[in-house]
Structure 1
């Protein structure tokens, strides 16, 4: 029986020989260099069973992704946007409110509001209105004419440049200022056709009559001289200035009348005549010192209002005893603003033609024509001296002795 052959242990197959045959040491000169072996760019992990080369290379970068904001930051962003929108809405609302208030304030200023720094109860002003008067029957002895009136004074929002205009009259009345307009017939009826029995004063400007209007109001009606350039200027000054101010120690202007060449002004009636009448009137009782002091104080308050409270200040230019009216209680009221002038705070003086009453005028104004509020103060000082002494500034009986 044959013995089976013994099996030798099986050894693992030897790895393939990877040795690369070196190129020959020498090549013919005309032979090109051999082509380099093709490099395999495949993944080394595929070539190496144990991944040795793969461990040597850095890991590939992770794919980029949009970074998400932290929850707190996102919530803060939303809150910030909401607050910003709310602030914008609030700002817009505040702007609208202030805009409407400013618009309303401007409207009030044009409808009679007092300017800044002036007591509202002492100031009356409104937007000039254009009024065309109905054509009344001309007064007796006067040829009918087309209506004439004065040009409205130049105005500004601050009233800073308002001065009576010297332009020729225009056919339209533009004198608003919350004044009433009267027909000549109304005023003639109120004064009983301007009879002498109702005449209460006269002067270079014209005549003043007492009258009673249809509503029972007692007034003083000043009728300016016809055809006088100075009368026309005084009419403009009176309407422009007196219609804008109101004070207990100033005479109030009620209205006016323009018909043909006639110019009439209607004032509140002050019943107790003038200071001149009580000082120098024939057979008048002597005023006691307390009454004189009361009159002086009231006139001083009215003058101070013109100089300090009105913007621009108003220079009366004709302060005298005859222009200080008295009521039943001997309260003084300044009157007759036909020569008054505006003066800006920036003006050192106003150059003008010398006008006023001899004996009351300041000497520097009479010599130079440079008008300031101090000219009124000088005239008021003459009035005080007249009240103390009882003498006129120029007294013919006392040999024209000027006490000023």
Structure 2
């Protein structure tokens, strides 16, 4: 039985382009299914989190990360009696707007787009699901429900101030009430993202040899997990020991969010999803002690993984790839694929429109394709 503040498909605000409802799937199930079948979702297979796609077959990609986030989100949502289908839809869509090369690619595009309205991956995800996906006869985008769009736009909290152009443009047509918090389901998706990447970045950093098991065993939360594994399974081989320890860390984070959020939801006294949006603070979060421990883990990862010399070397190389492709296509839009010709013609030499079109094209690239196109069109300089 769902909580009274859970999102109810029967009272959903609908889609921008009205459609007949399915007789066997809820509107949020249809959103989830459309996201899974989207071209942008498939491309996440070859977009990476930290490492570049060709560096190894075992590192997480945006696709595997999104699936992991969705799994965590469904678990938490179910425990809190929320709508797991909406939670999963937001979780699966949350990274659709990421360009190639993870946050490095986003930083590069943000720099190049600064004169043209900026770039933000959440805003780009909205643009993808409302415009850039073009498979359906009756509309551009996926025509998702208001609740799913709201969750994609503001799962990290209210969006205020100067909006990225992609979000501002859509919000002018379809008000997503950006100044409020999102539904509890969307907030679960956001916390599930934190849980998934903190856990798998420890895995991937160990596999890459950027730090050792002894080093992470000195971290809060991780150390007690290793100690518990050694007590229960003495003499376990290194690989199994690592897996057992980190899955315990994973479990601590999930349990903490469930217990903390359950208390926050009770304290909020919400009787509807509208109440959740207007509580004025997140209702899904870690406890203060666990959040403090996670900050220490994140600082370790920042120093030893995200800013490791080998990673920084690759960051510099792929930053150059994105920046040089942007400059090339902005000056030579005729080099874009033929199916972009209509957009080029519509831009009519307008530098702002051309820049945004080039940004959309580059943001849609996979790591591999961006490297291939850079080699083909620019080479080694």
Asked if TM exceeds 0.5, the reply is no
Judging by fraction of residues, say which structure has more strand: 1
Normalised to the residue count of structure 2, the TM-score between the two structures is 0.23
User: Which is greater in Rg?
Assistant: 1
